[in-house]
Structure 1
Amino acid sequence: MSKNTTIDFSASNTKNNISAQNNVLLNLVHQKVGQQSFIEQLIENNCKRLKYFPDKQTAEDFIENLFEFLFVGQAECGCDLNTLTIKLNRLKSTFASLLSEVIKKDASEKGEEVSAQTEIFFDALPGIYERLLKDAEAILKSDPAAQSIEEILAAYPGFFATVIYRLANQMWKQGISILPRFFSEYAHSKTGIDIHPAAQIGESFSIDHGTGIVIGETVVIGDDVKIYQGVTLGALNVSKENASTKRHPTIEDNVVIYSGATILGGKTIIGAGSIIGGNVWLTYSVPANSVVYHKSEVRVKDKEPFLEPLNFVI
């Protein structure tokens, strides 16, 4: 009896093992089918959404190489005309390749569009370069920690963000899709400074420190403006319905905005020559030559516990 019981138990185990193996195989089949379905979904979506999408690494390399060509690469090549010409032609070729990936036209029309857009962009480069030199000079003039113009060109994140903004802004004005935002977000990821490529920024623009600065799409900034870290030039309402309206403030000439200030609204105008203090929250306009500051209360107490006296009045 005991022997028969053992045999029956083993058979039961065998049946259970086979059932378990079948379940495992069935799960694997379901996983494979699910995985294949997921891959097919990715292919379909990517073909639709990413048909006109630049190669990320190529785009990042291009903007870094263009920055080095303008400001720091000359030291490596000894300012040799022939070498710089070769570098410029390579940059043009890479830019044309990136454009061919984002321009939504048939092959017959795309070639002409790529050539025209490339020519317009690089023809604008000398003017952009002159404005960037003024930006660097403004930083040197206003930052007591800056030792030289070379230090600013090579090492200041605020200047790097400004360079990428001005290049991306030119592409934006040319109506080039994707690339302007691609480059501005690359600068954002490297510096912590978020400048929309559609923003309008005047000459001699200066960013000090820079981390946490946000400059929205419809911001208008005049000449000789200086902005410190943590400043937000934003919108009062982020509704999608207001996408085509001016949602961000206007900053007139010779304004200084100190760290942590928040200025919101498309109708908000900061008058020329004004100083906006740290941590100020503004949603309305201020006249020229205003000084706006936030009054905070600072309390200091002993870190040791303090027993309140029992004061009774009878």
Structure 2
Amino acid sequence: MAVFDVAEIVDALRAVRHQWREAQKRSLDPGGRDLPAREALGEIVDTLKGVLFPMRLGPPDLRQETEDFYVGHALNAALHALWAQARLELQFKARHGRVDATEIDARADEAVRAFAGRLPAIRQLLDSDVLAAFHGDPAAGSVDEVLLCYPGVLALIHHRLAHELYKLGLPLLARIISEHAHAATGIDIHPGAQIGGRFFMDHGTGVVIGETAIIGERVRLYQAVTLGAKRFPRDADGHLEKGHPRHPIVEDDVVIYAGATILGRVTLGRGAVIGGNVWLTESVPPGAHITQATSRHEARPAGAPESPGSV
């Protein structure tokens, strides 16, 4: 049987960890883990999906007569677990300052209470998304099929939950929740992105939506669409500047076909149609049709004759 020098590797790994922590000016909390746990947040979101859609995403043996009991019990457990994770994020943020445990507890309590209060509105938004997918896809047999099977809807459930946490000052929790959906669906939506109701991602795989993107009502995207940034400003020290609006604004009723890439703080006007594989770095007027056959300066107004290769 092979013998491995585990002790030597353990010592070397300890040295690397200490080197990293000293360089980052971090110290290990002897009390245990000091950051939110991906596994815990995965379980919380799974529970919240059942809370939002108990008869579809809840326990398989749930009956309608016990629906409210299940929702109340599951919601209570999920909120307590979320509070613990929120406290870890807030405590980690305050690690370089004077940590007031009472204040951190109060902030976590306030954030989780506000999040819980938004759940009915999140459910209503998701209902509109499910209906948009059902009406927008001729292959959809029912709204139940859409909810149970469509990766775009799964990604939106995660995004709607994550976006609320992002707005409440818990960006790390929000990002972890978004990344769970990214790993499961191939759809990458930053939790900071603002997305209106009745949003539909057809197929969805490869869709990327950046942090400062703003999407209106009744927008439809196909697979591999990117709403990204064109350039990244740097400060005097050469570090990337954060927080600047750098992603597209997509107004109501816009359709963006597969493989299109829209970069920068440009605006796609209401009702515009962006064809497949288009690369776009300029704003588009309302009602325009942009295809590979049209140049950057030749946006075709709605109703005008289509050029070869247009959608």
CA, structure 1 residues 82+47, in 2 after alignment: closer, same or farther (shift >3 Å)?
same
Q: Which amino acid aligns with 2:188?
A: D
Residues 103 and 177 in structure 1, CA contact (< 8 A), matched pair in contact too: no
Which residues of 2 match residues 1-314 of structure 1 at below 5 A? 34-38=12-16, 40-41=18-19, 47=27, 52-71=34-53, 72-73=57-58, 76-79=61-64, 80=66, 81-104=68-91, 105-240=99-234, 241-266=240-265, 268-295=266-293
Cα deviation 1:39-95 (Å, max 9, x = unaligned) = 544676774699641122111111122113212216632131222211111111111
Q: Which has the higher helix share?
A: 1
- Matched residue pairs, number? 271
> Hey, what's the Cα distance between the residues in 2 that align with 1:122 and 1:173?
13
Q: Which amino acid aligns with 2:289?
A: V
So what's the TM-score if we normalise by structure 1? 0.79
CA, structure 1 residues 28+219, in 2 after alignment: closer, same or farther (shift >3 Å)?
closer
So what's the TM-score if we normalise by structure 2? 0.80
The alpha-carbon deviation at position 295 of structure 1 amounts to: 3.3
> Hey, what's the Cα distance between the residues in 2 that align with 1:270 and 1:198?
19
Residues 47 and 75 in structure 2, CA contact (< 8 A), matched pair in contact too: no
**2:42 aligns to what SS in structure 1?**
helix
CA, structure 1 residues 39+152, in 2 after alignment: closer, same or farther (shift >3 Å)?
same
> Hey, what's the Cα distance between the residues in 1 that align with 2:281 and 2:167?
28
CA, structure 1 residues 139+212, in 2 after alignment: closer, same or farther (shift >3 Å)?
same
CA, structure 1 residues 47+274, in 2 after alignment: closer, same or farther (shift >3 Å)?
same
CA, structure 1 residues 158+41, in 2 after alignment: closer, same or farther (shift >3 Å)?
same
> Hey, what's the Cα distance between the residues in 2 that align with 1:242 and 1:133?
37
CA, structure 1 residues 82+295, in 2 after alignment: closer, same or farther (shift >3 Å)?
same
**2:227 aligns to what SS in structure 1?**
strand
CA, structure 1 residues 165+30, in 2 after alignment: closer, same or farther (shift >3 Å)?
closer
Higher Rg of the two aligned structures: 1
**2:201 aligns to what SS in structure 1?**
strand
**2:58 aligns to what SS in structure 1?**
helix
> Hey, what's the Cα distance between the residues in 2 that align with 1:109 and 1:225?
41
The alpha-carbon deviation at position 106 of structure 1 amounts to: 2.4
Counterpart of 2:237 in structure 1 is: none
Residues 193 and 210 in structure 1, CA contact (< 8 A), matched pair in contact too: yes
Residues 252 and 271 in structure 2, CA contact (< 8 A), matched pair in contact too: yes
Q: Which amino acid aligns with 2:273?
A: I
CA, structure 1 residues 112+36, in 2 after alignment: closer, same or farther (shift >3 Å)?
closer
Unaligned residue ranges in structure 1 (runs of 5+): 1-26, 299-314
> Hey, what's the Cα distance between the residues in 2 that align with 1:145 and 1:114?
43
CA, structure 1 residues 87+30, in 2 after alignment: closer, same or farther (shift >3 Å)?
closer
> Hey, what's the Cα distance between the residues in 2 that align with 1:253 and 1:152?
22
Q: Which amino acid aligns with 2:145?
A: E
The alpha-carbon deviation at position 169 of structure 1 amounts to: 0.6
Unaligned residue ranges in structure 2 (runs of 5+): 92-98, 235-239, 295-307
